[in-house]
Structure 1
Amino acid sequence: MNKIIEKLELWKDMFIKNIPNIAIAIIVLIVSYFASRAISSFVNKAIGSRISQKSVRNLVSRIASALIFLLGLYFAMTILKFDDTLKTIVSAAGVSGIVIGLALQGTLSNTISGVVLSFRKNLGIGNWIETNGYSGEVIDINLNYFVIKEADNNMVILPNKTILESPFKNYSLTTKMRISIECGVEYGADLEKVESLTKDVITSNFNQKEIDKHVEFYYTEFADSSINFLCRFWVDSQNALEKLKAKSKAIIEIKKAFDKEGINIPFPIRTLEFSNKLDIQNQIAKSNNSQNQE
């Protein structure tokens, strides 16, 4: 009992002696706590205009808040002269961090990729992109996955790491798209008239002057049953669906104009021609005589 009492007396003396340091450490912790909350709110508002994903904004603000609080905790432990304890905690945290990092390598990779994707200026929610064999509108960029809504209304969920490491085509980065139409006309058609008519149809339906572009027309080959051509023009569009609609409209209008002018768009056919005329009646008669003789 005497040893216990002596130990308690020693702890009491040490506590009384360190009351100023304890008070300062508590004040530091309180200040760091409120400072971390203020920093979290500030960071959340500061990056709100650049990152539309709430989950990513919360992650970044919480990381900033945690760093401020850990800094305050470090100062508090230093004031209390817990340097050796602090070194032990840091060493243990480092080893544990390595083990946890190896175990959650895939998850952490997707999380970091999600943060990186959220800060990219050439990719955002609402953009129409094509990547990894999928094409559609970006619906969400979360901490773990990337969501694309295809034209057929199907949702495609891809890991963030896949998007970050793969090339993608962003149709929304430009307001202009070029459309190419390939077609063919019969060999007897007036090629100059076909060219002029096609350009007039495209120009009247898709104003090229407003976007400072012009219609391109080229004959490409003598095919088996047609002379083929390529027509290229520009439209105002920010996604592949609008491009598809414009191409469909152009095909319809070109077909109407060709039908009106009597220009034929041939399809593959095969003509069989016999140089010798067969006398079917004589052949039948010979066959009947042969049967009678038998």
Structure 2
Amino acid sequence: MEQINELFQQNHEVLLGYFLKLIAAIVIFYVGRIIARSISALLEKGLLSRNIDKAVVSFLSSILYAILMIATALMALSQVGVQTTSFIAILGAAGLAVGLALQGSLANFASGVLIILFRPFKSGDFIDAGGITGTVDKIEIFQTIMKTPDNKRVIVPNAKITGGHITNFSAESTRRVDLVIGISYDSDLRKAKALLEQIISEDPRVLAEPAPNIRVSELAASSVNLIVRPWVNTDDYWGVYWDTLEKVKLTFDEHGIGIPFPQMDVHIKQDSKE
């Protein structure tokens, strides 16, 4: 007992210093944890207020909290005299190894976050992206699930979507229907245009503004091509497209307007012998 008291008397200043450093490290750790939780909660609240997917919000807030807690732990360890340089080097090497091993998944994750943040499309939109044309079913962290018009379920990596062009057919409330109608050269052009104008005007789904456009677009090899461009609501696009083509064929047949097909005239020349 006397030896312990003597040892304490000789080293009480050192022990007191270590004790104070330990208290400071504990205080740093707990204060840092409170700050990390507060910042993570603020981030989560801010992202949710912008209608960002809850799964992504939870994931991002968890990552931020983990980073802040690692920084807090390193600060606390350095306070008690632990050399944190080696820990930082180990963490850096581990992060590099994980990043190289999961670079494809990380690219898909980053692309998923960008899709949810900037919202080039949303669930239910009909899009052309990543080489697939279909309706967006779900937007997940690593992939986007789409359904094709023939009801196929296609899973597209998010990096493939953001790495190319994205065409969103549902983004606008109206769309222009582009049709090319060819008539034969011996048909009455003015009559054909009048019939097309009648067909378009009788369809209640066609919008008055912008006005439909019917013009001669090309004098082709075997036909006179007319463009027919009415504007419709996006939901009526395919109905107007298909119905107009059918109505044009039936109406042109009734009025004797010929719709030519590709053909080739072959002239045989025979030399006469004396």
TM > 0.5? yes
Instruction: Say if 1:199 and 1:217, in contact at 8 Å, map to a contact too.
Output: no
Q: Residues 14-63 of structure 1, C-alpha deviation per residue, up to 9 Å, x if partnerless?
A: 55543333223223222322332332232122112445333221221112
2:94 corresponds to which residue? Answer: 96
Measured in 2, the distance between the counterparts of 1:200 and 1:9 equals 107
- Residue matched to 1:243: 237
Report the Cα distance in structure 2 between the residues aligned to 1:207 and 1:244, rounded to whole angstroms.
12
Aligned length: 258
- 3-state DSSP class of the match of 1:21? helix
Given that residues 210 and 231 in structure 2 are in contact (C-alpha distance below 8 angstroms), is that contact kept between their aligned partners in structure 1?
Answer: no
Map of 2:268 onto structure 1: none
Deviation by residue 1:234-258 (Cα, 9 ceiling, x = unmatched)? 22217xxx53222012123333443
**Equivalent residue in structure 1 for 2:249, among 252, 255, 258:** 255
1:274 paired residue number:
none
Corresponding residue to 2:180 among 179, 182, 190: 182
- Show the counterpart of 2:207: 208
Deviation at 1:192, TM superposition (A): 0.8
CA deviation profile, 1:200-239 (whole Å, cap 9, x unmatched): 2213314332x43332322533554x5443222222217x
Distance 1:249 1:56, change over 3 A: same
Tell me: CA distance 1:199–1:38, structure 2 relative to 1, closer, same or farther (3 Å). Answer: same
Q: How does 1:223-238 map to 2 (within 5 A)?
A: 224=222, 227-237=224-234
Q: Deviation of residue 269 (structure 1)?
A: 8.8
AA aligned to 2:247 is E
Kept in 2: contact 1:202–1:233 (CA 8 A): yes
Q: Give the number of the structure whose alpha-carbon radius of gyration is greater.
A: 1
From the superposition, tell whether residues 15 and 255 of structure 1 become closer, same or farther in structure 2 (CA, over 3 Å).
Answer: farther
Q: Classify 1:95/1:127 alpha carbon distance in 2 versus 1 (closer, same or farther; 3 Å).
A: same
**Contact residue 51 and residue 119 of structure 1 kept, 8 A:** no
Matching residue of 1:74: 74
- Which range moves more in the overlay, 173-182 or 194-203? 173-182
Letter in 1 for 2:88: V
* Other-structure match for 1:150: 148
Q: Distance in 1 between matches of 2:225 and 2:88?
A: 73
TM-score by length of 2: 0.79
Is the partner of 1:135 in helix, strand or coil? strand
CA distance in 1, matches of 2:54, 2:120: 19
Aligned to 2:30: 30
Q: Which residue of 2 aligns with 1:285?
A: none
Q: What is the SS of the residue equivalent to 1:173?
A: coil
Q: Identify if the C-alpha distance between structure 1 residues 269 and 166 changes in structure 2 by more than 3 Å, giving closer, same or farther.
A: closer
Letter in 1 for 2:45: K
Q: 5+ residue gaps in structure 1?
A: 272-294
Quickly say closer, same or farther: Cα 1:253–1:163, change in 2 above 3 A: same
Relative to structure 2, which stretch is displaced further, 136-145 or 156-165? 136-145
CA offset digits 1:98-156 (Å, max 9, x no partner): 22222222222222222222222433333321123310122223222222221122121
- Give, in whole Å, the separation in 1 of the partners of 2:54 and 2:166: 24
**Is the 8 Å Cα contact of residues 216 and 224 (structure 2) preserved in structure 1?**
no
What's the secondary structure of 1:153's corresponding residue?
Answer: coil
The residue type paired with residue 239 of structure 2 is K
**CA distance, structure 2, for counterparts of residue 70 and residue 31 of structure 1:** 13
**Residues 1:248 and 1:34: Cα distance change in structure 2 (over 3 Å):** same
Amino acid paired to 2:246: I
